[in-house]
Structure 1
Amino acid sequence: MDGSVQLEMRFGASNYAPMPVTIVRGKGVYLWDESGRRYIDMMGAYSAASFGHCHPRLVQALTDQAQQLDTISRAYFNDRLGAFLGRACTLTGMDLALPMNSGAEAVETALKAARKWAYTVKGVAADSAEIIVCDGNFHGRTIAIVGFSSVPQYRDGFGPFPAGFKSVPFGDAAALRAAITPNTAAFLVEPIQGEGGINVPPPGYLAEVARICREHNVLLICDEIQSGLGRTGRLLACQHDGVTPDAVTLGKALGGGLLPVSLFLARREVMQVFTPGDHGSTFGGNPIAAAVGLAALDTLIEEKLIERSARLGVHLLARLRAIRNPIIREVRGRGLFVGVELNRDCASAAAVATRLLRVGVLTKDTHRNTVRFAPPLTIEESQIDWAVDRVAEVLDEFARVEAHH
């Protein structure tokens, strides 16, 4: 075990169980460990590394701005934020944006906005607004957010939780309709559930949900932190259903993999519930974050990474679906956001991910015994092929062991 790992294990809280590799360098879709061994990144830092590692244009934006002006807080205007917010609103079709840092902070902002909108615009009685979420959701790790998680470990030992949330099955529009009451402020949903196992809802689900929300004067808030910014082959995953929600959360790739940058974007009617002092963030919208965020959005469009994700996503799905192996239960996804669910009695996704690491493919297991694949959008078809060949070989090994039992 190298010294840095020993120090991390000695002084770091054990809230993560990292895989047995220490990464020291990254470039594009590749990462290197301390012994110089190269790996292909099929994980993409949970979508945060969508531009690949150390993208020259983003690193340039970061270093140029860092030498010019750093954090001054939002007590003053800075010369970088306006262009970033304008670009984000224009691209997403939203009226206004509020900058934060982590994705969870963007979601917390959405929750506050939805509640205040319910009281000041919709006329819900004080402190009785409800927000509907989905079973299997993942929106972050704050007390409020884990309070409406359906994963027992995320909640265990962290209560009491804030009231005002109810959960319905993902992909079931009728269940949403049945759950709505006059006190319902918003429906918060991931267009594709990432952490839940790369769960893709039935075709037309989001369009139907949008109709139901409009009919009942309920806000539709799409959490696009993992699924947005080209990950699924559209700018936002909700666009596959032709949906423009009332509000969107963005994060992960928005910081170019270099630093945490997030946004809550919404229609004017929703965002104007905030007045100075209602909500804020010392680092949210700082000049470096704004410069990198703008460069990330520009790079996404100018390098045609959304179109690339759509094209290569079809290839990745086709290649994975062509693997003939009894261990595979289902391959699902959209764009470069794909999960391979394994039969639980044959192989554990965690064991498969560990074995893939040994053959030079970095990925990670997630819920429903699923191996996730969310590589940088800059990946080449030949690199996908190499990675999928390794996946097929590893699954063959597991199948052979299973056959001998």
Structure 2
Amino acid sequence: MDDMDSASVEQELAEPYLRAVLDTAGLAVEYVRAEGNTLHRRDEDGGLLPVVDFAGGYGSVLLGHNRPEIVRCAQELLAADTPVHAQFSRHPYANRLAGELNRIIRRELDTTEPYFAIFANTGAEAVEAAIKHAEMDRGMRLAVVLDEVAAHVEQTREALAAGTATLDHATFARPGLTAPAPGEDGFEALSAQIRARMEEHRAAPPLFLALEGGFHGKLGASVQLTHNHGYRLPFKGLGAQARFVPRDQPEALKAIHAEERRILLDTVVVNGRVEIVEREVPVFCAFLLEPIQGEGGIHVLSAEFAAEIQRFCAEIDCPVVIDEIQSGMGRTGALLASSHLGLRGDYYTLAKTLGGGIAKSSVMLVRQARYRQEFEIVHSSTFAKDSFSCHIALKVLELLEEDGGRAYHQAVERGDALRTMLESVRADFPDVVKEVRGKGLMLGMEFHDRSASPSPVIKSAADSGLFGYFLAGHLLHRHHVRTFPTASAVNTLRFEPSLLVTDAEIAQLERGLRDVCGILQEHAGDRLCPART
């Protein structure tokens, strides 16, 4: 054991509390093999027990676990000693990947404007890159406004000195301005107040907009844009702050803008008279949204609300960041789920299936009109843009696009089959299942609240905040089906299998769901499979 204390091996040191929570729900099992839409775990006799995977790596394995073509690509890359660490050099494979992503995006969005790529390792890191880039862009736009105001003030001063302009005392009647004291130079008093406001705006932190129910990661900045209060509150003091917009309430957009907009006063000379005009300064750094909210309960953004967001953001010059980390990469039948909505982003974030279930890879895309080349110098990531992950991603795109996009069609067809089954279960258990939502192979089934169940077991599960995890534990042990609830809406089970999911596997899930629904309907908590370690 290399002198390691054998006792220390037995102690759980890798997130022991989480292990205990998984134990409680019966989910602390070890998987030792994976292929296609199946994971294998050890049974009590040490043999392999197949489990149908409807969790799909939280959407990461659309093409299946250890897809042979991707595994072969990885093996060839490693056998060829492909460089993983060749930072700060030319990466033609990354450029090819960016080009291929652009080719597909041009087709889906019907646009010729290119998107520049910043590569990363995880979805949350891609979101962080988007946040940082958007703030750099906002800061540079703000600097332009402040420089223009400063120049206008100097031009006004020169006009007053030359006698070609006059300053009326009534100018100070504008709300927010203080009239000069007797004997004080009126323009100097005015310019001092303008300069003070300029410094206030320069120092003011950015504000983000995000949707209620949205999830954008748990890193220092991205967690502030994740709506779940439990994830955000412990880290509230760390980073960017957001205003959360209720879904399908376009009137809230104008209300938030009215509350948060910031105005800077500027001077102009009109017909020899100094006048004050208002300049709106960029306050909102970006609007982040998911076309389908994953962790928020599999809620699909409506096309109508998407159009309202697009119009609103264009009016106030606020970039739109579309988080396609869970919904993108073909899961809904297109590379970008948002393309179904007619929504166009200034930024996109892609991850999960981009790595083919093997590489850890993500990308942040910025359209040309928004791109700031200076960002490339101040942002970097050690493992990003490496040969291994880029070539794996290129293979993923090849598999999605081959045979006229057969994989996209397959995701739609398999998703329709899965949804038909889920809807049939809902129809037979309307008092148990509240709603089925989603698109393609990103579906969710929400259960009615069971906190009033006469069954102590079911009521306890509902009150624990782990309701969906207990149902998942039952499905795992009794029916050999793996799924989880969505993180911020634990009454909703997620179904994000690979496009290889078969009718037989869908039927296996159906049997499990009907069993669960019968237990809940009959308040038969004693039939719920007990937690196992």
Provide the TM-score with structure 1 as the length reference: 0.92
Q: CA deviation at 1:72?
A: 2.5
Shift of 1:167: 1.6
**Residues 264, 276 of structure 1: CA spacing in aligned structure 2 closer, same or farther, 3 A cutoff?**
closer
What secondary structure does 1:10 align onto? coil
- Give yes or no for the alignment of 1:171 onto 2:248: yes
Taking the aligned partners of 1:395 and 1:9, their CA distance within structure 2 comes to: 38
Distance 1:136 1:208, change over 3 A: same
Amino acid at match of 1:343: H
Structure 2 matches for 1:353-364, cutoff 5 A? 353-358=472-477, 359-364=479-484
Residue 505 of structure 2, aligned match among 366, 375, 383 = 383
With over 3 angstroms needed to count, the CA separation of the structure-2 counterparts of 1:290 and 1:9, relative to structure 1, is farther
Secondary structure at 1:332 match in 2: strand
The one of 21, 24, 35 equivalent to 2:29 is: 21
Classify the secondary structure of the residue corresponding to 1:372. Answer: strand
Which residue of structure 2 lines up, in the alignment, with residue 305 of structure 1? Answer: 407
- Paired with 1:387 and 1:108, the residues of 2 have a C-alpha distance of 36
More helix by share: 2
Distance 1:403 1:33 in 2: 26
Please give the alpha-carbon distance, in whole angstroms, between the structure 2 residues aligned to 1:404 and 1:363.
Answer: 21
Question: Shift in Å at residue 273 of structure 1?
Answer: 4.3
Task: Supply the distance in 2 between the matched residues of 1:156 and 1:164 (Cα, whole angstroms).
Answer: 11
- Alignment partner, residue 81 of structure 1: 94
Matched, 1:70 2:190: no
- Residues 198 and 15 (structure 1 numbering): CA distance in 2 closer, same or farther, change over 3 Å? farther
Q: CA deviation at 1:315?
A: 1.9
Whether 1:238 aligns to 2:338 is yes
Distance in 2, matches of 1:163 and 1:41, equals 36
Cα distance in 1 for partners of 2:475, 2:408 equals 27
Residues 133 and 148, structure 1, Cα contact 8 Å, conserved in 2: yes
Measured after TM superposition, the shift of residue 16 of structure 1 is 3.4
> 2:41 aligns to what?
33
Please say which of residues 165-174 and 108-117 is displaced more in the overlay: 165-174
| Equivalent pair of 1:229/1:306 in contact (CA under 8 Å) | no
Taking the TM superposition and a 5 Å limit, the aligned residue runs for 1:289-328 are 289-302=389-402, 304-323=406-425, 324-325=428-429, 326-328=431-433
Secondary structure in 1 aligned to 2:370? helix
Shift of 1:322: 1.0
Aligned-pair CA distance for 1:234: 2.3
Deviation at 1:276, TM superposition (A): 4.1
Structure 1 residue 174 displacement after superposition: 2.5
Aligned length: 400
Question: Structure 1 residues 306 and 171, CA, compared in 2 at 3 Å: closer, same or farther?
Answer: farther
Amino acid in structure 2 at the alignment position of 1:264: M
Q: Secondary structure at the match of 1:397?
A: helix
In the aligned structure 2, how far is the partner of 1:80 from the partner of 1:202?
37
Amino acid at match of 2:417: H
Partners of 2:79 and 2:202 lie apart in 1 by 48
Inter-partner Cα distance in structure 1 for 2:29 and 2:471: 15
- Once the two structures are superposed, residues 351-380 of structure 1 have per-residue CA deviations (whole angstroms, 9 ceiling, x without a partner) of 211111011110001233111111112223
Whole-angstrom distance in 1 between the partners of 2:139 and 2:126: 20
1:393 is the counterpart of 2:515: yes
Give the counterpart letter for 1:11 in structure 2.
L
User: Based on CA coordinates, which of the two structures has the bigger radius of gyration?
Assistant: 2
1:77 maps to amino acid: R
1:350 matched to 2:433: no
Identity %: 30
- Residues 299-336 of structure 1: CA deviation (Å, up to 9, x unaligned): 11226222111122122112111111121111111111
CA RMSD of superposed structures (Å): 2.3
CA drift at 1:30: 0.8
1:353–1:362 CA contact under 8 A, matched in 2: yes
2:293 counterpart SS class: coil
3-state DSSP of counterpart to 1:80:
helix
The Cα offsets for residues 202-260 of structure 1, whole Å up to 9 and x where unpaired, read as 34221221122122211111000001111122221111111221110001111011021
Helix, strand or coil at the partner of 2:381: coil
The DSSP-based 3-state class of the residue aligned with 1:222 is strand
Greater alpha carbon shift after TM alignment, 88-97 vs 268-277: 268-277
- State the one-letter code of the partner of 1:375: P
Partner residue of 2:492 out of 364, 370, 380: 370
Contact 1:29–1:378 (8 Å) recurs in 2: yes
Query: 1:3 corresponds to which residue?
Result: none
TM alignment of 1:9-158, pairs within 5 A: 10-14=12-16, 16-17=18-19, 18=22, 19-34=27-42, 35-68=47-80, 69-93=82-106, 94-121=114-141, 123=144, 125-128=201-204, 129-158=206-235
5+ residue gaps, structure 2: 1-7, 107-113, 146-200, 262-281, 459-466, 528-533
Per the normalisation by structure 2, the TM-score is 0.71
113-122 or 317-326: which moved more? 113-122
- How many angstroms does 1:22 deviate by? 1.1
Cα drift, residue 195 of structure 1: 0.5
**Secondary structure, counterpart of 1:277 in structure 2:** helix
> Which shows bigger deviation, 183-192 or 381-390?
381-390
Q: Measure the CA separation in 2 of the matches of 1:14 and 1:154.
A: 19
Give the counterpart letter for 1:196 in structure 2: G
Q: Residue in 1 aligned with 2:349?
A: 249
Partner of 1:99, secondary structure, is strand
TM superposition shift of 1:21: 1.8
Describe the shift of the 1:322–1:57 C-alpha distance in structure 2 as closer, same or farther (beyond 3 A): same
- 1:218 maps to which of 318, 322, 329: 318
In structure 1, C-alpha distance between the alignment counterparts of 2:333 and 2:510, rounded to whole Å: 19
Whole-angstrom CA distance in 1 between matches of 2:13 and 2:408? 41
Go from structure 1 to structure 2 and tell me whether the alpha carbon gap of 1:293 and 1:118 turns closer, same or farther (over 3 Å shift): same
After TM superposition, the structure 1 stretch with the greater mean CA deviation from structure 2, 233-242 or 289-298, is 233-242
* Alpha-carbon separation, structure 1, partners of 2:526 and 2:124: 46
